Amino acid sequence: MCARRSNKLTTTTHFATMLCLFISPNLHPQQLYQAASSRDLPQPPEVRRPFVLDAVNDPTTGKAAFSFRGREIPPVIRTKPGGHIRVDYANRMSSKSTELCVDRPCMNMTNLHFHGLHVSPDAPQDDVLSMMAMPGQSLRYVVDIPLDQPPGLYWYHTHPHGESYQQDLDGMSGAIVIDGIDRYVPEVRSIKERILILRDAELHEHDVVSSSLKERVQLSPAACGTATGEPQRIFTVNGVVRPQIGIAPGEKQFWRIVNASPDLYADLEIDTEQLIVVALDGMPLAYHDPSRRTESLQHVLLAPAGRVEAIVIGPNAGTHAALRTRCIDTGADGDPNPAMVVADLDTTKPAISRVSSVSPSTGKAVYKTLSPALVRSLESREPEFTVKFTEDTHSFYVNDKKYSPTDGPMLTEKVGHYVHWRVVNDTHEIHPFHIHQVHFLVFQENGKKAASPEWLDTVNVTPEGSVDLIMDFTDPIIRGVSVFHCHLLKHEDKGMMAKILFQ
């Protein structure tokens, strides 16, 4: 029975089976968190071959979940450049949902998006428009990874328009690792690798358990920025609230972190150490600049859907250190995003033996450098397309249009070249801009040259601000109809999305 139990009375993630390895299934939910976090952080299972993934309803709560081999623990998908992802995805959810999606009962329709991968938007690959499974139906995904796919951390999550937010909040997401990052950063070879998936635990007013959870993560009671209201959720890591991460003093570990929350921002820092960043949003820093293998940063801001891969060094013995997220001001119309402790670094015990090390990969690194002259030329041009985010009390819009599945493409782009885009945020809250199939270079923010231009697939646009991007539309594999949208998934569900046709 333990394999079927869920800890989702207060959390929206699905690691109950893993928690059952550690504790009695009869404990109160708060005791579940405490008991689980007294052990080293659990790692999700991995899969390299074709596999079956089920969409189910948790038997205790009715919430949506991924089920893999009979357990509600989404696997880490691993492959390599030139490899493949093969998934048979079966919708075994109920035809009648107990949950509310946007402004109506959920229909429990579902599909998959392979976030950040430079793959085709056409079926049976990363198609979020025509591939849709209603309860009782199945989808078969055959995703071919290009040979020049940047090795790094990506992720998959459901993407049914109108229901993306609730399903992601429920925990329908998992990590994807494209092997080979050690080709760009040999320093990560043979050190322990950890996958850290940040999801949400829900808080409720006048609730004893929620109060205990706030205390556990040291949720800051002070007002955070200009947003009003009370925090609605806190972070979990691999389904655990404030876990212990075993790391010896001076030991180097390779942490691959994905912010899988539908709308929480994570501005991550470690008390006593800098993060030696290797990649952002799956893109190795060296992929476009071979001379830039790593960068030491005090903190890294991850938008919802953002990823960071970094080398972490164990603190001195007897020194307490924690992984924290700082306060993020989301704007006057945004949601509170206060500081909290995400996890503790525990130097009193080594990492669990099942935490594997980064295996050396074969083959040579593939680089994609842009000439400084090309970059200057693109930066000096007027944008070829402008995305404008707006909202009102009812809906969210791209270029004054609310998305409808029956819409045609908002624009057509010829593949084979780089393009200057501008994203304008005409609202009073942050919006993270994301486009499927490609990465882009963020070279200007709010009209000023970016202090550190980065290649990303999701970028924050500040309230009443803008970003200028060099879009990489050079890969012919991306031909087809794709989408771009705000990655606050409730905003996407309410209309802040548009189609693009790559020809």
* Single-letter amino acid code for the residue at 317: A
**DSSP-assigned states of every residue in 282-310:** TEEGGGS-TT---EEES-EEE-TT-EEEE
CA distances from residue 37 to 238, 242, 378, 405 in whole angstroms, order as listed: 11, 6, 49, 43
* pLDDT at position 37 over 80: no
CB atoms inside a 10 Å sphere around CB 286: 20
pLDDT confidence tier of residue 351, bands split at 50, 70 and 90:
low
Pull the structure tokens for residue 285.
């820093």
Give me the sign of the Cα torsion angle 60, 63, 68, 73: negative
Contact 306, 458 (CB under 8 A): yes
CB atoms inside a 10 Å sphere around CB 141: 22
* pLDDT at position 440 over 60: yes
Q: What average pLDDT score do residues 315-326 get?
A: 94
For position 209, what pLDDT does the model report?
93
* Tens digits of residue pLDDT in 86-137: 999 999 999 999 999 988 999 999 999 999 999 999 999 999 999 999 999 9
Helix (H/G/I), strand (E/B), else coil: 319: coil
How many Å apart are CA 261 and CA 199, to the nearest integer? Answer: 5
* Single-letter amino acid code for the residue at 319: T
Which residues, in sequence order, are CB contacts of 4 under 8 Å at separation 6+? 59
For position 352, what pLDDT does the model report?
63
Which residues, in sequence order, are CB contacts of 444 under 8 Å at separation 6+? 379, 450, 466, 467, 468
* Single-letter amino acid code for the residue at 207: D
CB atoms inside a 10 Å sphere around CB 451: 6
CB atoms inside a 10 Å sphere around CB 484: 24
Q: What average pLDDT score do residues 333-346 get?
A: 96
Q: Exposed, middle or buried by CB within 10 Å (0-12, 13-18, 19+), for 373?
A: exposed
* Tens digits of residue pLDDT in 126-182: 999 999 999 999 999 999 999 999 999 999 999 999 999 999 999 999 999 999 999
Strand partners, 314: none
* pLDDT at position 15 over 60: no
Pull the structure tokens for residue 392.
């009102």
Please give the span between the terminal C-alpha atoms of the chain, in angstroms, as a whole number. Answer: 52
Which residues, in sequence order, are CB contacts of 224 under 8 Å at separation 6+? 327, 328, 329, 336, 337, 338, 339
How many Å apart are CA 36 and CA 18, to the nearest integer? Answer: 9
Percent of the chain with pLDDT over 70: 91
Contact 483, 496 (CB under 8 A): no
Contact 14, 58 (CB under 8 A): yes
**DSSP-assigned states of every residue in 84-95:** EEEEEEEE-S-S
CB atoms inside a 10 Å sphere around CB 236: 29
Q: What is the signed CA dihedral for 345, 347, 352, 357, rounded to 10 degrees? A: 80
CA distances from residue 295 to 195, 196, 303, 304, 454 in whole angstroms, order as listed: 20, 20, 19, 22, 12
How many Å apart are CA 371 and CA 478, to the nearest integer? Answer: 23
Of 256-260, 323-327, 345-349, 411-415, give the lowest mean pLDDT range. 345-349
How many Å apart are CA 176 and CA 169, to the nearest integer? Answer: 19
Most distant CA atoms of the chain, gap in Å: 65
For position 161, what pLDDT does the model report?
97
pTM assigned to the model: 0.93
**Strand (E) or helix (H) holding 157:** strand 152-157
Give me the sign of the Cα torsion angle 152, 158, 162, 165: negative
How many Å apart are CA 126 and CA 478, to the nearest integer? Answer: 10
Q: Which of 318, 204, 303, 314 has its CA nearest to residue 257?
A: 303
Which residues, in sequence order, are CB contacts of 470 under 8 Å at separation 6+? 370, 375, 378, 379, 418, 419, 420, 440, 441, 443
Q: Which of 84, 79, 85, 21 has its CA nearest to residue 53?
A: 85
* pLDDT at position 368 over 60: yes
Pull the structure tokens for residue 67.
């089920």
* Single-letter amino acid code for the residue at 415: V
pLDDT confidence tier of residue 353, bands split at 50, 70 and 90:
low
